[in-house]
Structure 1
Amino acid sequence: MAGLASNTSASATATAIPDAKKNEKVDYLNLPCPIPYEEIHREALTSLKPELFEGMRFDFIKGLNQKFSLSHSLSMGPSEIPSQSSEVVKIPISNYEFGANFIDPKLMLFGRVATDGRVTARVKCDLTENLALKANAQLVKEPHMSQGMIHFDYQGRDYKTQFQIGNGAYLGANYIQSLTPHLSLGGEVFWAGQPRRSGVGYAARYNTDKMVATGQVASTGLVALTYVQKVCEKVSLATDFMYNYITREATTSFGYDYILRQCRLRGKIDSNGVTSAYLEERLSMGLHFILSAELDHKRKDYKFGFGMTVGE
Structure 2
Amino acid sequence: MSDPAAPPQSGTTHDAAPSAPPSRNPGSYDELHRRAQDVFPMVFEGCRVAVQKGLSQHFQVSHTLNISPNMTGYKFGATYVGSNVQGPGEAYPVILGDTDASGNTTATVLHQFGPKWRTKLQAQIQKGEIAGAQGSFERKTDLYTAGITLANTNILNDSGVFVAQYLRKLTDKLDVGMEYMNSYGPRIPGGSFSVLSTAARYTTANWAAALAFSKHSTHISYFHKQAPNLAFGVEFTANAMHGDAVTTLAYQAELPDEGVTFRASVDTNWTVAGVMEKRLSQTLPFTIALSGMLNHQKNAGKFGMGLIIG
In the superposition, the TM-score normalised over structure 1's length comes to 0.81
Mapped to 2, the partners of 1:272 and 1:166 lie a distance apart of 31
Code of the aligned partner of 1:258: A
> How far is 1:74 from its partner?
0.6
**In the alignment, what sits opposite 2:148?**
163
CA RMSD in angstroms, aligned pairs only: 1.7
Contact 2:103–2:128 (Cα < 8 Å) also in 1: no
Mapped to 1, the partners of 2:279 and 2:214 lie a distance apart of 40
Code of the aligned partner of 2:150: I
Code of the aligned partner of 1:226: S
**In the alignment, what sits opposite 2:303?**
304
Number of positions where the alignment pairs a residue of Structure 1 with one of Structure 2: 266
Alignment of 1:124 onto 2:110 = yes
Contact 1:95–1:116 (Cα < 8 Å) also in 2: no
Alignment of 1:270 onto 2:275 = no
Mapped to 1, the partners of 2:60 and 2:241 lie a distance apart of 46
**In the alignment, what sits opposite 1:59?**
50
Alignment of 1:238 onto 2:237 = no
Alignment of 1:101 onto 2:79 = yes
TM-superposition CA deviations, 1:160-199 (whole Å, max 9, x none): 1111112233221100001111010000112222232221
- What is the percentage of aligned positions where both structures have the same residue? 28
**In the alignment, what sits opposite 1:21?**
none
Mapped to 2, the partners of 1:198 and 1:115 lie a distance apart of 39
Code of the aligned partner of 1:171: F
**In the alignment, what sits opposite 1:181?**
172
Alignment of 1:153 onto 2:146 = no
The secondary structure found in structure 2 opposite 1:47 is: coil
Code of the aligned partner of 1:95: G
**Residue 198 (structure 1) aligned to one of 194, 200, 210:** 194
Q: Which runs of structure 1 show a deviation greater than 4 angstroms over 4 or more consecutive aligned residues?
A: none
TM-superposition CA deviations, 1:239-282 (whole Å, max 9, x none): 11111122331111111011211111100010011100011111
Mapped to 1, the partners of 2:178 and 2:125 lie a distance apart of 30
Code of the aligned partner of 1:56: C
Point out where structure 2 has 5 or more consecutive residues left out of the alignment: 1-21, 83-90, 154-159
The secondary structure found in structure 2 opposite 1:167 is: strand
The secondary structure found in structure 1 opposite 2:142 is: coil
Mapped to 2, the partners of 1:172 and 1:302 lie a distance apart of 35
Contact 1:31–1:178 (Cα < 8 Å) also in 2: no
**In the alignment, what sits opposite 2:212?**
216
Code of the aligned partner of 1:94: T
> How far is 1:31 from its partner?
9.2
**Residue 253 (structure 2) aligned to one of 245, 253, 258:** 258
Contact 2:104–2:128 (Cα < 8 Å) also in 1: no
Code of the aligned partner of 2:97: G
**Residue 72 (structure 1) aligned to one of 54, 57, 63:** 63
**In the alignment, what sits opposite 2:157?**
none
Contact 2:178–2:197 (Cα < 8 Å) also in 1: yes
> How far is 1:61 from its partner?
0.9
Mapped to 2, the partners of 1:234 and 1:206 lie a distance apart of 22
**In the alignment, what sits opposite 2:12?**
none
In the superposition, the TM-score normalised over structure 2's length comes to 0.82
**In the alignment, what sits opposite 2:37?**
45
**In the alignment, what sits opposite 2:19?**
none
Structure ID, larger Rg: 1
Greater helix proportion: 1
Code of the aligned partner of 1:243: A
> How far is 1:116 from its partner?
4.2
Contact 1:222–1:245 (Cα < 8 Å) also in 2: yes
TM-superposition CA deviations, 1:103-146 (whole Å, max 9, x none): 12221100111124421000111122210111111111286x71
**In the alignment, what sits opposite 2:121?**
135
Mapped to 1, the partners of 2:144 and 2:226 lie a distance apart of 29
**Residue 25 (structure 2) aligned to one of 33, 54, 57:** 33
